[in-house]
Homo-oligomer: A and B are copies of this chain.
Amino acid sequence: MKAPYGLDICENCQACTVREQRLICNLPDRALAEFNAAKFATVYPKGAVLFVEGQQPMGVFVVCSGRVKLYGTSADGKTYVLQIAEPGDVLGLSAVVSGRACEANAETLEPSHITMLKRADFLRLLATHAEMSFRTSQLLALTCHRAHRQASAIGLAQSAREKLARFLLDSCERAGETTDAGIRVRLLLTHAEIGEIIGTSRETVTRLLGQLRKEGVIAVRRSTIVVRDRDALTGNVHS
């Protein structure tokens, strides 16, 4: 089945039903049925744009598989990455609830399964099902949390090295895997993208990563980084 723009519609694929639970867990059957009846589950190719900043929010987007880049742009074309959304994350929630325009652009980094619920349908669910409303509050609270953490991470860091250290520590905490050699994490990001996340230039990211590697703090192979000396990174954050 084909949606507009040649997108494949994904009919209740396993990924979607599993991951959506983070938004709709513990819903009574009637609400769940409503959700399923109204949702659009589609699979987007790499580089697809879900929404752009300034636009009235179309609805909420649940990432079922893949990764979605959330970023803002300044007038001179610079981009600043707010978040790399992963399966289970919900996008557009704050815009839909507050009724304001979207404050960011969303673009898939990989082919991704996304289920969408139109604004009107979502608000109806909110109004009629208390659990949905409470769950939404919790998700929004988490989003606030993350946004504040990111703001203070950037605001409090005085050197680029410190920003990078914070970013690496954050990545480890989210997706790290502890091995005997250290904490291993796959960063599927280019140096340029890391630069956009931590607010510095690509060259600086390259230089700093090289520096850390020389110092033996991290080891790099392909897109996986092994943090061998975690304390050295946290030490950077302090000083």
When chains A and B are docked, how far (Å) is the Cα of A150 from the Cα of B103? 11
Is B104 touching A148 in the complex (CB atoms < 8 A)? yes
Query: At the interface, yes or no: A178 with Cβ under 8 Å from chain B?
Result: no
| 7 A-B pairs closest in CB distance | A147-B147, A140-B140, A98-B141, A94-B144, A80-B155, A97-B141, A75-B238
By the criterion CB–CB under 8 Å, are B97 and A155 in contact? no
Whether A156 lies near B82 (C-beta < 8 A) is: no
Shortest beta-carbon distance, A71 to chain B, in Å? 9
Range of interface residues on A (Cβ < 8 Å): 35 or more
Q: Which residues in chain A, 124-155, are within 8 Å of chain B measured between CB atoms?
A: 126-127, 130, 133-134, 136-138, 140-145, 147-152, 154-155
The reply on A231 being an interface residue by CB < 8 A is no
List of B residues within 8 angstroms of A98 by Cβ = 138, 141-142, 145
**A52-97 at interface with B (beta carbon < 8 Å):** 72-76, 78, 80, 82, 93-95, 97
Q: Does A100 contact B (CB under 8 A)?
A: yes
Q: Does A165 contact B (CB under 8 A)?
A: no
Asked if A199 lies at the interface with its beta carbon under 8 angstroms from chain B, I say: yes
Q: In the assembled complex, which residues on chain B have CB atoms less than 8 Å from the CB atom of A93?
A: 141
Chain B residues positioned under 8 Å from A148 (CB to CB)? 72, 82, 94, 103-104, 147
Contact with B along A149-167 (1 / 0, CB 8 A): 1111011111000000000
Name the contact of A151 in the complex, choosing from B126, B133, B138, B150 (C-beta under 8 A): B150
For A196-239 the 0/1 string (1 means CB < 8 A from B) is 00010000000000000000000000000000000000000111
Among B137, B155, B239, which residue has its beta carbon within 8 angstroms of that of A76?
A: B239
B145 in contact with A103 (CB, 8 Å): yes
* A199 contacts across to B, CB distance below 8 A: 154-155
